[in-house]
Structure 1
């Protein structure tokens, strides 16, 4: 295996991780920001008020993006298996 091929595989894996994590974390960050602005505007300093909406949005993101995430991981795994002959030879 050449170092360039290893770097390409590592780059693809890291990019996949970034995309999949962003699909789950970004909606939670947006909801957290909205709740924080609401809390700042109303002077409510309750910590649990921001936790529950973020938890619900994160679970919904996992529910709705789960099929897509699984497909992306499966496609990457199939691509890795198909690269085995070029990695060995």
Structure 2
């Protein structure tokens, strides 16, 4: 099976300062976190982004984020991943 993202929901996790979303590989649910720093513009890296800005950036970058998540998942199948700025280079 391949990783799919049929559920468009996402939420902000304050404790992790990241946006959480889910992928599915058949019946298996995989949790992903995208760190706020990975969602920040290059000029605003290092500045704490608000929840609304993180969610808006996630929505804008969603296709790219899903592609990066698929690459991360292909390197080893786990139940949870954290995507960082270095994953998007």
TM above 0.5, yes or no, is: no
Bigger share in helix: 1
Which has the higher Rg, Structure 1 or Structure 2?
1
Of structures 1 and 2, the one scoring higher in RCO (CA 8 A, sep 6+) is 1
TM-score by length of 2: 0.29
Bigger share in strand: 2
